[in-house]
Structure 1
Amino acid sequence: MEKINIICVDDDREVLDSVLRDLDYFSDFVNLEACESAFECLELLEELDANQEHVAVLISDHVMPGKSGVDLLIDVEEDPRFIGTKKLLLTGLATQADTIRAINNARIDYFLEKVWDPEELLQTVKELLTTYVVEKGLDYETYADKLDARTLSRFAI
């Protein structure tokens, strides 16, 4: 089975732990990775790429020291190694200009505001992960029950 990763990035450890807890549903077939900065995430992306692992979903806060989440998501969008990676901006402090940059330049797939509804986060990530898995042609039979049935049916031939 191919290794699939969901990466969560936030400089607040409590927020990271909360997101990981909300996404624990996926932990039996997906690696849940936590990064406390955009730079840490970029290092992890290099490592995952070197190991030929999939980065299915990247969830990032925006306001972080050193490099913003929007800038991180733009970097990922522009990197051909991560074509198809689904990007979710999870923040409470993005301005309208930041959000427009995220949409236009990072081509984010979804935006959620802090404080988020755990069920909405889980369902959103389930849909994004399902789309990634199908678009990449990954074998998902062993964990199909954990994916979003409605999204899977959209891809049915």
Structure 2
Amino acid sequence: MEKIVVICVDDQPEVLNAVLKDLSPLQSAFIIEECDSGDEALAVMDELDAEGHYIGVVISDHIMPGKNGVELLTDVTNDSRFFKTKKVLLTGQATHQDTIAAINQARIESYFEKPWDADTLVNCVRTLLTEYIFDMGFDYQAWGEVLDNTTVLRRLR
């Protein structure tokens, strides 16, 4: 079975821990990696890709020192290795222009304002991982117990 990874990026440990806690229902089937900066996330993604892992979803904070979330997710979008990777932006301080850049440049799939609803976040990530598995042509049945059934049925039609 392919090893699919969810990368979570936030420079604030308490926010990162909250995201990891919210995603804990997915840990039985997916690898959840935490990073505290955009540059670290890109380095981890390089390592995981070299090991043959697949980056299914990247969830990134927007405002971080160094590379911000839109820049990170734009880099992911522009890297052919991660063409099908799904992207989520978390933010508490984005402007209208930031949101437009996230959509147009980073081509994000979802956008959450802080504080977010835990169930909504985990359901979104579950749906995005289901989409990723189908987009990659993997046998979805290997992850059957954690995938979004509505998305599975829609993709099987």
Q: Taking structure 2 as the reference length, what is the TM-score of the superposition?
A: 0.98
Q: Map residues 7-156 of structure 1 onto 2, 5 A cutoff.
A: 7-156=7-156
Deviations 1:65-95 (A, max 9, x none): 0110100000000000001100000111111
After TM superposition, give the deviation of residue 139 of structure 1 in Å: 2.0
Residues in 2 aligned to 1:113 and 1:37: alpha-carbon distance in whole angstroms = 19
Structure 1 segments, 4+ long, off by >4 Å, are: none
What stretches of structure 1 of length at least 5 have no aligned partner?
none
Aligned Cα root-mean-square deviation (Å): 0.8
Partner SS state of residue 147, structure 1: coil
Q: How many residue pairs align between the two structures?
A: 157
After TM superposition, give the deviation of residue 52 of structure 1 in Å: 1.6
Deviations 1:46-73 (A, max 9, x none): 1011112100000000000011010000
Residues in 1 aligned to 2:7 and 2:120: alpha-carbon distance in whole angstroms = 17
Q: Identity over aligned residues, as a percent?
A: 50
Residues in 1 aligned to 2:94 and 2:55: alpha-carbon distance in whole angstroms = 24
Deviations 1:106-157 (A, max 9, x none): 0000001000000000110011010001111112323212100001111113
The answer on whether the counterparts of 2:29 and 2:146 sit within 8 Å (CA) in structure 1 is no
Residues in 2 aligned to 1:80 and 1:105: alpha-carbon distance in whole angstroms = 15
Partner SS state of residue 59, structure 2: strand
Residues in 2 aligned to 1:106 and 1:62: alpha-carbon distance in whole angstroms = 12
Partner SS state of residue 106, structure 1: coil
After TM superposition, give the deviation of residue 29 of structure 1 in Å: 1.2
Partner SS state of residue 65, structure 2: coil
What stretches of structure 2 of length at least 5 have no aligned partner?
none
User: Which amino acid in the other structure matches residue 5 of structure 1?
Assistant: V
After TM superposition, give the deviation of residue 96 of structure 1 in Å: 0.7
Q: Taking structure 1 as the reference length, what is the TM-score of the superposition?
A: 0.98
Deviations 1:21-40 (A, max 9, x none): 10011111100000000011
